[in-house]
């Protein structure tokens, strides 16, 4: 470590982690190098491409723009944790079914960002989907299939929610 080292305590994917980190270590580098969580990728390192996206206290952030020491005491969810929990299983299946991924480099960030949108908006329009995903670059798919997949999951979740509410009625 070339800078000052700090002890941090974070919750990563539901597990408490106590580590000593260099004050200049980005969150994405900490996750990848110290914890071996390589699902979030290092792309542009300027916060533009979205490949390094992770959730911090429930909000998707760019892991390359946040320092690990800034996360002390916070909850971090990586694509590994969100996928392992089953939270995005329907999104993952929709991406596969609609060929919304090719090389896969952008996919973790796309999935986390799409999940954030679906959680906050419910049933967004195609325009809202495109706007929310606009900070995540994909060089392979042309985005159409990604928007199709997110829209399909939004519709399916809305239908499931409606049928659950109807079944719960007295």
pLDDT above 60: residue 79 = yes
- How confident is the model over 91-149, as pLDDT tens digits? 999 999 999 999 999 999 999 999 999 999 989 999 999 999 999 999 888 899 999 99
- How confident is the model over 144-170, as pLDDT tens digits? 999 999 999 999 999 998 876 666 655
- How confident is the model over 16-72, as pLDDT tens digits? 999 999 999 999 999 999 999 999 999 999 999 999 999 999 999 999 999 999 999
Which structural domains are found in the chain, ordered by start? 5-82 (3.10.20.30), 88-164 (1.10.150.120)
Burial class (CB in 10 A: 0-12, 13-18, 19+), 81: buried
According to the model, what pLDDT value does residue 162 have?
82
Name residues whose C-beta falls within 8 Å of residue 42's C-beta, 6 or more positions apart in sequence.
28, 29, 32, 51, 52, 64
Mean of per-residue pLDDT scores for the chain? 94
């Amino acid at each position: 470590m070339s800078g000052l080292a700090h002890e941090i305590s974070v919750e990563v994917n539901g597990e408490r982690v106590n580590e000593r980190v260099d004050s200049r270590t980005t969150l994405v580098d900490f996750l990848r190098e110290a914890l071996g969580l390589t699902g979030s990728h290092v792309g542009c390192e300027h916060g533009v491409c979205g490949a390094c996206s992770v959730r911090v206290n429930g909000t998707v952030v760019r892991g390359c723009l946040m320092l690990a020491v800034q996360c002390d005491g916070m909850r971090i969810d990586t694509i590994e944790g969100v996928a392992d929990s089953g939270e995005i299983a329907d999104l993952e299946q929709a991406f596969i079914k609609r060929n919304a991924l090719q090389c896969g480099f952008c996919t973790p960030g796309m999935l986390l960002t799409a999940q954030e949108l679906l959680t906050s908006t419910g049933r967004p329009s195609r325009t809202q989907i495109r706007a929310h995903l606009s900070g995540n670059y994909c060089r392979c798919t042309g985005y159409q299939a990604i928007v199709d997949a997110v829209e399909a999951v939004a519709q399916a979740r809305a239908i499931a929610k409606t049928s659950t509410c109807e079944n719960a009625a007295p």
